[in-house]
Amino acid sequence: MRSVVIGGGHLAYFAITALRDIDPRGRLTIIEFTSEKVEMLKKTFPFADVVLSSIEGVEEYISRNRFLIDVLVSATDSDALNLRYAKHSIKIDLPIVIAILNNPLNEPVFAKENVRYVINPYKTIESKIKEIVGKFRVNVIHEFSKVEGGIYAIKVEDAKTLRRVQSFVLKSDTPFFVLSTDKRIRASSAKDIQIGDVIYLACHDREIKGLLKKIGRLES
C-alpha cells in the first residue's frame, strides 16, 4: 500500500507509526515544508521517503501521483492546510483521505467540506475523564469511522433504566457486555444486568438516541 503523510509534527508521527505498523512493507512518503525537519524525519523514519516541498507544491505532488496513492493523511500543524489538501485529494478521487485535527472545534468545518475521515485526537479526553472518575450517566467510548454508530456506556442507576435497557437489548438484539460494581466483565443474558452495573452497547446512533430518550438522558 502506498501512503502519503503530509506534515512532520507530532500528529504526523503517530500517523506514520500506525501506517508502518499496519503495513510494514508498504511504501510511505512524508511531505514536509522545512529542510531541518526533513533531515530529522529521514533519521527518525529511515523506512520512509521524505520529500521537501513548498506549501503550494503539495497539491501538485498529490495530483502527479494520484494513480498510485492509496492512503493520504493530512497531518500538518495547520487545520487550514489539512482541509485544503484533504479537499484536493477527495476532488482527484484518492480512495482513502484522512485529516487529523489540531483544533477540535474545526471538526464540523471538515465534515461540511466532505472530508469523511477526520481524526479528532482530543475526543478521548472527555470519555476518559468520565470513565476514570466514574461519574457519568452516558459515555461515548468509541465512534465507528465507517458506520454512524459506536460503543456507548450507560450506567444503570435505577429500576426504570434497568427495565428500559433490558427491553432494548432483548428487542434489538444489540451486542453488549457489562462491567459490574465488583469490577467483573460479563457478557451474559440481559436478565443478569443489575442496578449499579455499567452496560456497554455497540449499536447505531439512532438506536442509542432512541434508548436515551426513553430513559430521559437525551432531550427529544
Partner 1 sequence: MTPEEYFIVRVALAITSIALTIFLGSKSGALIMRNLSKFGRSFASKLAELVKYFIIILGAIVAFSILSLDVIVLTSISIGIFIVLLISMRDVFSNYAGEIYLRVRRPFDEGDFIKVGRISGRVVSINSQDVELVSVKGERIIIPNQFFLKYPVVNKSSAAPTSIELKVVFSGVAPEEAEKIVAEALSVIQPELFEDPKILSIITRDDKTEVDLLLSVANQQKMKWLIGRLSKELHGRGVEVEIV
Minimum distance between the CB of residue 47 and partner 1, rounded to whole angstroms?
10
CA separation for the pair 184, 189 (Å, rounded)? 15
Residues 58-97 as x/- pattern, contact with partner 1 by CB under 8 A: --------xxxxxx---------------x--xx-xxxx-
Contacts of 160 (CB under 8 A, 6+ apart): 215
| Cβ-based nearer residue to partner 1, 30 or 71 | 71
Q: How far is CA 115 from CA 1, 7, 76, 78, 123, in A?
A: 21, 18, 16, 16, 17
The alpha carbon of residue 103 and the mean position of all alpha carbons in its chain are separated, in whole angstroms, by 14
Q: Which residue has the cell 468520565?
A: 130
Footprint (CB under 8 A) of partner 1, residues 157-196: none
- Supply the minimum distance, in Å, between the C-beta of residue 32 and partner 1: 21
**Residue among 59, 77, 113, 143 that touches partner 1 (CB under 8 A):** 113
Q: How many CB atoms lie within 10 A of CB 101?
A: 21
Q: Which is nearer to partner 1, 116 or 123 (CB)?
A: 116
Least distance (Å) from partner 1 to the CB of residue 113?
6
216 Ramachandran zone, left/alpha/beta (phi>0; psi -120 to 50): left
Taking the complex as a whole, the smallest distance from the CB of residue 93 to partner 1 amounts, in Å, to 7
Among 34, 63, 103, 114, contact with partner 1 (rule: CB under 8 A): 114
As measured in angstroms, the least distance from the Cβ of 210 to partner 1 is 10
Give residues 3-42 in contact with partner 1 (rule: CB under 8 A): 25-27
Check: CB of residue 81 under 8 Å from CB of residue 55. Answer: yes
Nearer to partner 1, 72 or 199 (CB): 72
Question: Residue 183 burial (CB < 10 Å; 0-12/13-18/19+)?
Answer: exposed
Interacting residue ranges for partner 1, rule: CB under 8 A? 1-2, 25-27, 66-71, 87, 90-91, 93-96, 112-114, 116, 148
